[in-house]
DNA sequence: CGCTTATTGAAAATCATTTTCAATTATAAG
DNA sequence: CTTATAATTGAAAATGATTTTCAATAAGCG
C-alpha cells in the first residue's frame, strides 16, 4: 500500500510517525485529484478530528521534501498536491472533475532541443500538462 | 509601439487613460522577463513615484482581462506576468536570468490526441514550457 | 470650463501561510 | 514496563500578499 510506503519513508527520513501524519498521508497518497492544504485538512479530519491545519502544511512540506508529492499548477491555483509522478511523466487533468492521471512515453526532447537551438537556448527541462475530459465527463 | 497599442485597447475597453496605467503599461509591455506585481511597482515608480501598489494589481487585472498579459508559472512562484503570447505559442525561460521568449511551430496535437485516446481522455488543451540557459547565460 | 463618474492611493480588511510556544507524545534507553 | 529526551502537536499570534473600502482626485465629455 502506498500509504505504508510513505510512512516508512517518513520514518527513514528521520521523522516520527504520528496520528496527524498518518491522517494526511492516508488522504493524499490515495487521492486521484489534486488537493489543496485545506481540502486535505477537511478530508483528514474525518478520520482524525483533532488534526490542525498547521500540521497539514508541515506534513505536505516534508512529503514534498521526500519527493512523495508534487505541486500541481492550474488556472484556478497552484497550491494543490498530488502523489509524485513515477519517473519522467506528465499530467492529464480533467477540466470537469479534476481527475488527474500521469502518462509517459512522450519523446519530445529531440524536438525541444531543436526549438532551443533555433533560439540559442540550451534546453535543460520541460513542463508539459494536458487538459481535457475524462471518460466519465465526456458527453455520452 | 506596444505600449501605445495597449493603451488604445484599454481605452477601447472603456477604461480611462491615467498616469498610473501608463506607468504600468510602459513597464510590462516592454519587459522580456516575467515581473511580479511588486517588481512592476518598483520599476514603474521610477517614472511615476506617486503610483500605488494597488493600482498595479488593478491594472494587471485589466490587462489580463483584455488578453494583453498572461500569468507565468514557475518553480519559484506563479504570480509573475508577461506580455501575452501572440496566438498559439509556448514559453522558454532562462533559469539563470529569467529571460522569457515565445516559440511556435510545435505541432504536437497529433501526439497529444493519441496520448489522450490511450487514457480515454478527450484532450482540449495543453500547456508546455521549456527551461534552459539563454545565449548570454551559457558557459563560454 | 464645469459635470459626472471612473480612478486613485492610503488604510483597513481578508486570506493563505509561517512562526512562536507551551503541552503532548513518539521513540529509544534503562 | 518505566523514564528521559527531543520531536511534534494545535492554538494563537505574526507575517505577507492581495482585496476591499473610502474620501479625494482627475479623465473624458459636453
Ligand atoms: Mn517529457
Ligand atoms: Mn502547442
Ligand atoms: Zn472528469
Ligand atoms: Zn539567461
Q: A54 with A109, same domain?
A: no
Q: A67 with A105, same domain?
A: no
Percentage with pLDDT > 90 across chain A: 95
When pLDDT is averaged across residues A128-140 and rounded to a whole number, the result is 95
Q: Nearest CA to A58 among A46, A44, A72, A47?
A: A44
Contacts of B93 (CB under 8 A, 6+ apart): B33, B34, B72, B74, B99, B100, B101, B129, B130, B131
What is the pLDDT, as a whole number, of residue B116?
A: 96
What is the pLDDT, as a whole number, of residue A105?
A: 76
- Asked whether the predicted pLDDT for residue A1 surpasses 80, the reply is no
What is the pLDDT, as a whole number, of residue A52?
A: 98
Closest residue of A to B129, CA-based? A127
Q: Nearest CA to A36 among A91, A77, A6?
A: A77
What is the pLDDT, as a whole number, of residue A60?
A: 98
Q: Do A130 and B138 touch (CB under 8 A)?
A: no
Q: Is B111 on the interface with A (CB under 8 A)?
A: yes
- Asked whether the predicted pLDDT for residue A70 surpasses 80, the reply is yes
Task: Report the CATH number that the domain containing residue A106 is assigned in CATH.
Answer: 3.30.1490.190
The protein residue nearest D9 (Cα–C1') is A55
What is the pLDDT, as a whole number, of residue A27?
A: 98
Round the average pLDDT of chain B to a whole number and report it.
Answer: 96
What is the pLDDT, as a whole number, of residue B140?
A: 80
What is the pLDDT, as a whole number, of residue B89?
A: 96
Q: What are the chain B neighbours of A106 within 8 Å (beta carbons)?
A: 111, 115
Q: A19 with A46, same domain?
A: yes
Protein-to-nucleotide distance from the CA of B75 to the C1' of D20, whole angstroms = 30
Residues in A 65-104 whose C-beta is less than 7 A from nucleic strand C are 79
Three-state DSSP class for residue B99 = strand
Is A128 a domain residue? yes
Task: Report the CATH number that the domain containing residue B20 is assigned in CATH.
Answer: 1.10.10.10
Q: A65 with A97, same domain?
A: no
Residues in B 95-124 whose C-beta is less than 7 A from nucleic strand C are none
Domain residues for A79?
Answer: 3-83
Is A49 a domain residue? yes
Is A64 a domain residue? yes
Task: Tell me the pLDDT band of A25, cut-offs 50, 70 and 90.
Answer: very high
What is the pLDDT, as a whole number, of residue B106?
A: 74
- Determine the distance separating the centroid of ligand 2 and the alpha carbon of B115, expressed in angstroms: 14
Is A138 a domain residue? no
Q: B45 with B20, same domain?
A: yes
Protein-to-nucleotide distance from the CA of B25 to the C1' of D29, whole angstroms = 25
Q: What are the chain B neighbours of A135 within 8 Å (beta carbons)?
A: 120-121
Q: A26 with A60, same domain?
A: yes
What is the pLDDT, as a whole number, of residue A53?
A: 98
When pLDDT is averaged across residues B32-49 and rounded to a whole number, the result is 98
When pLDDT is averaged across residues A55-78 and rounded to a whole number, the result is 97
Q: Kindly report the backbone phi and psi dihedral angles of residue B74, in degrees, each rounded to the nearest multiple of 5, phi listed first.
A: -145, 165
Using the structure block, give the residue that is written with the C-alpha cell 497539514. Answer: A56
Answer for B9: CB within 7 Å of strand C. no
When pLDDT is averaged across residues B77-96 and rounded to a whole number, the result is 96
Q: Where are the alpha helices (DSSP H) in B15-96?
A: 19-29, 37-45, 53-65
Q: A37 with A64, same domain?
A: yes
When pLDDT is averaged across residues A11-37 and rounded to a whole number, the result is 98
What are A21's three cell numbers?
A: 501524519
Q: What are the chain B neighbours of A129 within 8 Å (beta carbons)?
A: 126-128
Answer for A57: CB within 7 Å of strand C. yes
What is the pLDDT, as a whole number, of residue A107?
A: 82
At which of B83, B101, B124 does a domain end?
B83
A26 sits in which H/E element: helix A19-29
Percentage with pLDDT > 70 across chain A: 100
- Asked whether the predicted pLDDT for residue A38 surpasses 90, the reply is yes
Q: Which nucleotides in chain D have some atom under 7 angstroms from a protein Cβ? A: 7-12, 17-21, 26-28
- Asked whether the predicted pLDDT for residue B117 surpasses 90, the reply is yes
Which residues numbered 87-106 in A keep a CB inside 8 Å of some CB on B? 92, 94-95, 101, 103, 105-106
Task: Tell me the pLDDT band of A36, cut-offs 50, 70 and 90.
Answer: very high
Q: A67 with A7, same domain?
A: yes
Answer for A8: CB within 7 Å of strand C. no
Compute the distance between CA of residue A106 and CA of residue A116 in angstroms, rounded to an integer. Answer: 18
What is the pLDDT, as a whole number, of residue A106?
A: 73
Task: Tell me the pLDDT band of B1, cut-offs 50, 70 and 90.
Answer: confident
Amino acid at each position: 500500500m502506498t500509504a505504508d510506503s510513505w510512512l516508512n519513508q517518513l520514518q527513514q527520513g528521520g521523522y516520527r510517525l504520528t496520528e496527524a501524519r498518518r491522517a494526511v498521508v492516508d488522504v493524499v497518497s490515495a487521492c486521484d485529484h489534486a488537493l489543496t492544504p485545506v481540502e486535505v485538512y477537511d478530508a483528514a479530519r474525518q478520520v482524525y478530528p483533532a488534526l490542525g491545519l498547521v500540521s497539514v502544511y508541515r506534513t505536505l512540506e516534508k512529503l514534498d521534501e521526500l519527493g512523495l508529492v508534487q505541486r500541481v499548477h492550474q488556472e484556478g491555483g497552484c497550491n494543490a498536491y498530488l502523489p509524485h509522478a513515477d519517473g519522467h511523466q506528465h499530467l492529464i487533468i480533467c477540466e470537469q472533475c479534476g481527475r488527474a492521471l500521469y502518462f509517459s512515453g512522450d519523446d519530445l526532447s529531440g524536438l525541444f532541443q531543436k526549438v532551443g537551438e533555433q533560439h540559442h537556448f540550451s534546453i535543460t527541462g520541460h513542463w508539459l500538462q494536458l487538459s481535457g475530459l475524462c471518460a466519465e465527463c465526456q458527453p455520452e
